[in-house]
Amino acid sequence: MALRTIVQDGDPILKKKCRAVTNFDDRLAQLLDDMRETLADANGYGLAGPQVGVMRRVFISIDERDLPEDGERPEGYETKYLEFINPEILSTEGEIMQYEGCLSFPGRNGAVRRPAKVKARAFDRHGNPFEIEAEGMLARCICHESDHLDGVTILDRAEYFYEDLEEDEGEEE
Ligand code: NI
């Protein structure tokens, strides 16, 4: 496994649409392994192909569905990951406005409206299709990362940024 460089704000890659994955091969497995390592190193929740310069429809997410309600990690807890290849959001339910960040835009927290629940389907690294129903952080992550595959980021989605609010308030005083 190897760390990959995370593409940062201003890089035109982040605005491009990704192509479908067609080969479920060793190269894809290597990419996914590297993405896990890169995500863990950056302490993030999700990471999409274009964020490591790969213009393919693939993203990964942390899977914390087995954690207790309070989010407390038990002793020796090992982080689990979900891998989405050629993902498709099938249906959504409800709406939640919440701040979210992105590893490509460090220090930016955008207020983004996202569905409360999401039903999606995708393929795993071996080419097997699966369906998933998600809520909370995972639902938000699936939407955020799917956006990346279409060249859409929090800069497009955020209604405002937390950092800008603080600045505005500071100026008024
Ligand atoms: Ni992002």
For residues 154 and 163, the answer to whether their CB atoms sit within 8 Å is no
Per-chain residues with Cβ under 5 A from ion ligand 1: 102
Q: Is the pLDDT of residue 166 over 80?
A: no
Distance of CA 128 from the midpoint of ligand 1 (Å): 25
Distance of CA 96 from the midpoint of ligand 1 (Å): 18
Closest CA to 59 of 143, 165, 170: 143
Distance of CA 50 from the midpoint of ligand 1 (Å): 10
Distance of CA 67 from the midpoint of ligand 1 (Å): 23
In sign, the C-alpha dihedral spanning 103, 78, 140, 60 is positive
Long-range CB pairs of 131-135, under 8 A, 24+ apart, other chains included = 131/90, 132/82, 134/65
Q: Following CA atoms 81, 86, 31, 46 in sequence, which dihedral angle do they give, to the nearest 10 degrees?
A: -40
Q: Is the pLDDT of residue 104 over 80?
A: yes
Residue type, 61: S
What tokens does 2 get? 């190897």
Residue 170's pLDDT is: 55
- pLDDT tens digit string along 22-79? 999 999 999 999 999 999 999 999 999 999 999 999 999 999 888 877 767 888 888 8
Q: Which of 145, 169, 171, 173 is catalytic?
A: 145
Average pLDDT in the 133-157 region? Answer: 97
Distance of CA 144 from the midpoint of ligand 1 (Å): 6
Q: Which residues contact 127 (CB under 8 A, 6 or more apart)?
A: 24, 85
Residue matched to tokens 């498709």: 88
Q: Is the pLDDT of residue 21 over 90?
A: yes
| Global pTM value | 0.93
Say whether 145 is catalytic: yes
Average pLDDT in the 73-92 region? Answer: 93
The secondary structure of residue 64, as a DSSP letter, is: -
Q: Following CA atoms 38, 41, 47, 49 in sequence, which dihedral angle do they give, to the nearest 10 degrees?
A: -10
Distance of CA 149 from the midpoint of ligand 1 (Å): 10
